[in-house]
C-alpha cells in the first residue's frame, strides 16, 4: 500500500512540507509506503476546458509541461492521496486548485474510491476555509475523506516552525494512523474492496 502526498506550497522545506512529512513518517511506521511530491515554484496550468483529455482518451492532461501528469502517473500505483497547501487569503494556493481540477478531470479514474485527505497550513487564520475548499473536490470523486482528532491544520510562519505546533503535529500523526487503518481494511483480502457504482446519469437543468 502506498500514499501519494503533494506539497502544493512553493517551499520545499516549508511548513506545509513539515506537516506532510509528519504524516509520511507515521504512515511508514504503520507499514504504509509514502511519497511526497513537491510542486515547487514552477507554474501549474489551469484547466482551459478543452476536453482533449477525454476526446482523445488520454487518461492524462493534454498539456504535459508541468507537474500534473507526473502526479497522475504516480497515482496509478498509489492507494490514497493527500494534498497539503499553505493558506493564501483564506484559500489554498492557485497551484493546488489548478492541479486538483486538472487531475480529477483528466485522470479521475486513478483517484476514484481511494481515501483522501487535505492539510492546510497557515500563520494565523483562514485554514478551515482552505481545508474545506480542498475537501469539496474529493467528495465529487467517491474518495473517502480521512479525518483526524481535529481539522487537518498546522500553524507556523517561518520555515519549519509548524514543528513547534505540538497539537498540529499530533493531528498529522493521527491522520496518518486513520489513513493506515482504513487502507488496511480496504486491502484486507489482498485487493481493494470498492463498492459497485451505478452508471452515472447526468442531468442538466437547462435543456
- The dihedral of CA 195, 196, 200, 201: what is its sign? negative
- The whole-number pLDDT of residue 193 equals 84
Res 190 pLDDT > 90 = no
- The whole-number pLDDT of residue 191 equals 86
pTM: 0.96
Contact (Cβ atoms closer than 8 angstroms) between residue 64 and residue 53: no
pLDDT digits (tens, 9 = 90+) for 84-128: 999 999 999 999 999 999 999 999 999 999 999 999 999 999 999
Measured CA to CA, the distance from residue 142 to residue 140 in angstroms comes to 6
How does DSSP classify residue 65? S
Contact (Cβ atoms closer than 8 angstroms) between residue 73 and residue 44: no
Measured CA to CA, the distance from residue 99 to residue 200 in angstroms comes to 24
Res 165 pLDDT > 90 = yes
Q: Which domains does the chain have, with CATH numbers?
A: 2-186 (3.40.50.360)
Amino acid at each position: 500500500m502506498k500514499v501519494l502526498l503533494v506539497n502544493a506550497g512553493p517551499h520545499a522545506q516549508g511548513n506545509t512540507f513539515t506537516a506532510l512529512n509528519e504524516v509520511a513518517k507515521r504512515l511508514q511506521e504503520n507499514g504504509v509506503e509514502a511519497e511526497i511530491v513537491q510542486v515547487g515554484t514552477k507554474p501549474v496550468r489551469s484547466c482551459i476546458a478543452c476536453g482533449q483529455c477525454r476526446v482523445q482518451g488520454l487518461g492524462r492532461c493534454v498539456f504535459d509541461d508541468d507537474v500534473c501528469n507526473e502526479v497522475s502517473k504516480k497515482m496509478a500505483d498509489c492507494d490514497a492521496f493527500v494534498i497539503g497547501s499553505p493558506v493564501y487569503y483564506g484559500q489554498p494556493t492557485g497551484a493546488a486548485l489548478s492541479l486538483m481540477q486538472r487531475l480529477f478531470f483528466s485522470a479521475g479514474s486513478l483517484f476514484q474510491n481511494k481515501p483522501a485527505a487535505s492539510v492546510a497550513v497557515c500563520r494565523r487564520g483562514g485554514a478551515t476555509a482552505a481545508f474545506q475548499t480542498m475537501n469539496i473536490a474529493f467528495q465529487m470523486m467517491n474518495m473517502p475523506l480521512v479525518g483526524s482528532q481535529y481539522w487537518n491544520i498546522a500553524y507556523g510562519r517561518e520555515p519549519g516552525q509548524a514543528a513547534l505546533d505540538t497539537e498540529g503535529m499530533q493531528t498529522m500523526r493521527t491522520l496518518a494512523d486513520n489513513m493506515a487503518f482504513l487502507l488496511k481494511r480496504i486491502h484486507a483480502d489482498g485487493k481493494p474492496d470498492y463498492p459497485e457504482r451505478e452508471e452515472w446519469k447526468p442531468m442538466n437543468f437547462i435543456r
